[in-house]
Chains A and B, each alone.
Chain A
Amino acid sequence: MNQEQRKLNVGLAQMLCGGVIMDVTNKDQAKIAEDAGACSVMALEKIPSDIRRDGGVARMSDPELVLEIKDAVSIPVMAKVRIGHFVEAQILQELGIDFIDESEVLTPADESNHIDKWKFRSPFVCGATDLGELLRRVAEGASMIRTKGEAGTGNIVEGIRHLRTITRELKLLTQIDDSELFAEAKRLKAPIDFVRNIAETGKLPVPNFAAGGVATPADAAMLMQLGAESVFVGSGIFRSSDPAKFARAIVEATTHFNDPSIILKVSRDLGVPMPSITMESLAEHQKMQHRGW
Chain B
Amino acid sequence: MIIGVLALQGGFALHLEKLHALNIETKRVVCEDDLKELHGLIIPGGESSTILRTAQSGLLQAIKEFAHSRPVWGVCAGCVLIASEVVNPEQMSLGLLDITVRRNAYGAQNESFIRRIDFGSPLGGDFECIFIRAPRITHVGKNETTVATDRDDPVMVENKLHMATTFHPELSDKLDFHRYFLRKIAM
Residues of A within 8 A of B (CB): 4, 7-9, 11-12, 14-19, 34-40, 70, 74-77, 93, 96-99, 121-123, 229, 251-252, 255-256, 259
A38 touching B46 in the complex, CB below 8 Å, given contacts A7-B171, A96-B107, A98-B109: no
Which of A4, A8, A75 has a CB less than 8 Å from the CB of B50? A75
Quote the shortest CB–CB distance from B147 to chain A (angstroms): 22
Query: Is B130 in the interface zone, CB < 8 Å from A?
Result: yes
Which of A40, A74, A251 has a CB less than 8 Å from the CB of B104? A74
**Beta-carbon contact of A12 and B109 below 8 Å:** yes
**Beta-carbon contact of A8 and B12 below 8 Å:** no
Residue numbers in B under 8 Å from A93 (CB-CB): 110
Residue numbers in A under 8 Å from B12 (CB-CB): 17-18
Query: Is B112 in the interface zone, CB < 8 Å from A?
Result: yes
Query: Is B83 in the interface zone, CB < 8 Å from A?
Result: no
Q: How far is the CA of A35 from the CA of B52 in the complex (A)?
A: 10
Quote the shortest CB–CB distance from A7 to chain B (angstroms): 6
Query: Is B74 in the interface zone, CB < 8 Å from A?
Result: no
Most buried by B among A4, A122, A255: A255
Main secondary structure of the interface of B (DSSP, over half): loop
Count contacts on B: residues with CB < 8 A to the other chain.
34
Q: How many A-B residue pairs have CB under 8 A?
A: 110
**Beta-carbon contact of B47 and A40 below 8 Å:** yes
**Beta-carbon contact of A38 and B50 below 8 Å:** yes
Q: Given A17-B13, A121-B110, A251-B54, 13 more contacts at CB 8 Å?
A: A8-B114, A8-B130, A15-B47, A17-B10, A18-B7, A19-B10, A34-B49, A37-B50, A39-B9, A74-B89, A74-B103, A75-B47, A75-B49
**Beta-carbon contact of A123 and B109 below 8 Å:** yes
Which of A12, A38, A255 has a CB less than 8 Å from the CB of B112? A12
Query: Is B108 in the interface zone, CB < 8 Å from A?
Result: yes
A252 (CB) vs chain B CBs: closest residue? B54
Residue numbers in A under 8 Å from B162 (CB-CB): none
Residue numbers in B under 8 Å from A40 (CB-CB): 47
A8 touching B53 in the complex, CB below 8 Å, given contacts A15-B76, A39-B46, A74-B88: no
A36 (CB) vs chain B CBs: closest residue? B53
Within 8 A of A (CB), among B77-134: 77, 88-89, 103-104, 107-110, 112-114, 130, 132-133
A14 (CB) vs chain B CBs: closest residue? B11
Q: How far is the CA of A229 from the CA of B108 in the complex (A)?
A: 22
Query: Is B18 in the interface zone, CB < 8 Å from A?
Result: no
Residue numbers in B under 8 Å from A97 (CB-CB): 108-109
Q: How far is the CA of A7 from the CA of B129 in the complex (A)?
A: 11
**Beta-carbon contact of B113 and A8 below 8 Å:** yes
B75 (CB) vs chain A CBs: closest residue? A15
Query: Is B140 in the interface zone, CB < 8 Å from A?
Result: no
Query: Is B45 in the interface zone, CB < 8 Å from A?
Result: yes
A73 (CB) vs chain B CBs: closest residue? B49
**Beta-carbon contact of B46 and A18 below 8 Å:** yes
Residue numbers in B under 8 Å from A12 (CB-CB): 109, 112, 132-133
